Chain A
Amino acid sequence: MAMLHTVNKSPFEKNSLDSCIDHALEGSSILLFEDGVYGALKGTTISDKVSQAMGNVSVYVLGSDLRARGLSEERIIEGITVTDYPGFVDLAGSHDNVQSWL
């Protein structure tokens, strides 16, 4: 069972991303969108945890939500894949299940 986890809340306001990472099994994926995109930033209080998780899981971030917030792709942790709405749909389709961390 490969799960797609989605996170749409800021990691500085809620522990959704923190808890998601703690529950994501090896081989699953995490997609950051809406305020969740702040979890993809380099040099923050949570970036080390995200980098470590990337040894086991694939992390994606929605480009349009990054751009809306003035965050360029150079600010993103290396190894995170920037995707778009069709990519979001493909991820949902290619995984066995989707879990939303609100």
Chain B
Amino acid sequence: MSEVIKKFMYVNRKAPYGTIYALESLEVVLIGAAFDQDVSLAFVDDGVFQLTTGQDTKDAGMKNFSPTYSALGDYDVNKIYIEKESLEERGLTLDDLQDLKYEDEDEDWAEKDSIRLVSREELAQLMDEQEVLLSF
């Protein structure tokens, strides 16, 4: 379809459920995945809470959309950047987050980690390299 491939980064800075931002971002990422761009997701500030394991929304009366993140790899969305400082400020480690994977078609579909832990400084550089930034 389009021969122009741009670097897109979705910046997620909000906790899930309290506002609609997290769910809307995920919807836009999945729609955007159809356009074959170079996509990455950044989870910064309260955005890191979106990926916590064991979310159970039964008693809160809301839809649990957290299992959908594990489908991102199937849509070739496999660069998921987590900011280290944001985790630490919130008493979290990577162990508290979903272990997202993807299958690398260039290496006989070997399973690889989508999650990349980066420092605030590294993330600032990554943001600087993007052509399109979408903030949620």
Q: Which residues of A contact B (CB under 8 A)?
A: 8-10, 12-13, 34-35, 38, 41-45, 47, 63-65, 67-72, 75, 84
Contact = CB atoms under 8 A, between A and B. Distances in A.
Contacts of B53: 70
Interface secondary structure of B, over-half rule = loop
B7 interface: no
Interface residues of B, number: 25
B55 A69 contact: yes
A54 B37 CA distance: 50
B89 A68 contact: no
Contacts, number: 70
B107 to A, nearest CB: 32
Contacts of B62: 68
A96 B14 CA distance: 34
B82 to A, nearest CB: 15
Interface in B67-112: 89-91, 96
Interface secondary structure of A, over-half rule = loop
A44 B91 contact: yes
A15 to B, nearest CB: 14
A41 B15 CA distance: 14
